[in-house]
């Protein structure tokens, strides 16, 4: 058993949210039980995830995508009310870390994805240094095959001009807007979760390859890595609950 406050300060020390300008509050988003016994981690605090975590007996949830985002008007109505109601009714804690969970050098989404793809960053790039870049370890078709093998889905591949890969850049989730910064940082290929219309033209016109590998699929590894670390430190049970999302 651990005190919620000790879990909170452990997470904050690990992830250093004060160093980021983020789209929502990092840390404890919904306050529940003071005594923490069982942690569930997941990508997004969706209703399905909350229900699955509570059904698994978790009293504390740790996610990458929390409930509150810039642009919301602050009302707890509709689907948001329902999510909060489930948590409050169960007296469960919800911790959410967004950009700090992408960025952590060993446990974050970027580092953990790189590990699975055989990529090691030797530099960072882009807004708030969230982008990772390092030496290529395989040709483009082998990299795409590795993505498919590790993430269980084929990436959408914009092949560029077919150049040999020397440097590969990556940033998990909806980081298609980092493509130009990746090109400027010297990438021969850039890998992220989502794609938008402009990236096809940029890939064609700059020759740099672009791989869209799934927002959820690329962000599955940070939350369980962090939660496992915290659970291990306090001797708590932890389970990662993955609810597939094709987007």
Binding residues among 212-231 for Zn ion as defined by CB under 5 A: 219
Binding part of the chain for Zn ion, among 28-36, 132-140, 211-219, 233-241 by CB under 5 A, reads 211-219
- Contact code string over 155-184 relative to Zn ion, x by CB under 5 A: ------------------x-----------
Q: Are 55 and 48 in contact (CB under 8 A)?
A: no
Q: How many residues bind Zn ion (CB under 5 A)?
A: 2
Maximum distance among all Cα pairs of the chain, rounded to whole angstroms? 56
Please state the three-class secondary structure of 40-52 as a single string: EEEEECCHHHHHH
Closer of 131 and 173 to Zn ion (Cβ): 173
Closest separation in Å from C-beta 15 to Zn ion: 15
Closest separation in Å from C-beta 216 to Zn ion: 8
Q: Is 100 in the site for Zn ion (CB under 5 A)?
A: no
Closest separation in Å from C-beta 174 to Zn ion: 6
What sign does the dihedral 34-38-41-45 (CA atoms) show? negative
**Structure tokens belonging to residue 2:** 């651990």
**Structure tokens belonging to residue 58:** 């978790």
- Pick from 128, 125, 132: nearest CA to 192: 132
Closest separation in Å from C-beta 74 to Zn ion: 22
Instruction: Give the orientation angle of helix 140-151 with respect to helix 109-117, to 10 degrees.
Output: 110
Residues that bind Zn ion (CB under 5 A): 173, 219
């Amino acid at each position: 058993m651990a005190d919620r406050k000790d879990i909170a300060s452990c997470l904050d020390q690990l992830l250093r949210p004060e160093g980021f300008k983020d789209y929502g509050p990092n840390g404890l988003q919904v306050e529940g039980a003071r005594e923490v016994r069982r942690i569930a981690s997941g990508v997004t605090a969706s209703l399905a995830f909350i229900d699955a975590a509570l059904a698994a007996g978790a009293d504390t949830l740790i996610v990458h995508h929390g409930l509150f985002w810039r642009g919301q008007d602050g009302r707890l109505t509709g689907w948001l009310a329902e999510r909060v109601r489930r948590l409050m009714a169960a007296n469960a804690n919800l911790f959410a870390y967004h950009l700090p969970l992408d960025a952590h050098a060993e446990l974050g989404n970027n580092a953990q994805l790189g590990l699975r793809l055989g990529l090691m960053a030797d530099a960072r790039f882009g807004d708030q240094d969230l982008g990772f870049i390092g030496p290529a370890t395989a040709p483009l078709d082998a990299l795409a095959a590795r993505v498919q093998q590790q993430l269980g889905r084929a990436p959408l591949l914009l092949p560029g001009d077919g150049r040999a890969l020397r440097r590969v850049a990556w940033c998990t989730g909806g980081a298609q807007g980092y493509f130009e910064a990746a090109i400027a940082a010297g990438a021969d290929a850039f890998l992220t979760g989502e794609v938008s219309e402009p990236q096809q033209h940029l890939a064609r016109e700059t020759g740099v390859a672009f791989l869209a590998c799934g927002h959820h699929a690329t962000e599955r590894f940070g939350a369980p890595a962090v939660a496992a670390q915290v659970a291990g430190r306090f001797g708590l049970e932890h389970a990662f609950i993955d609810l597939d999302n094709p987007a």
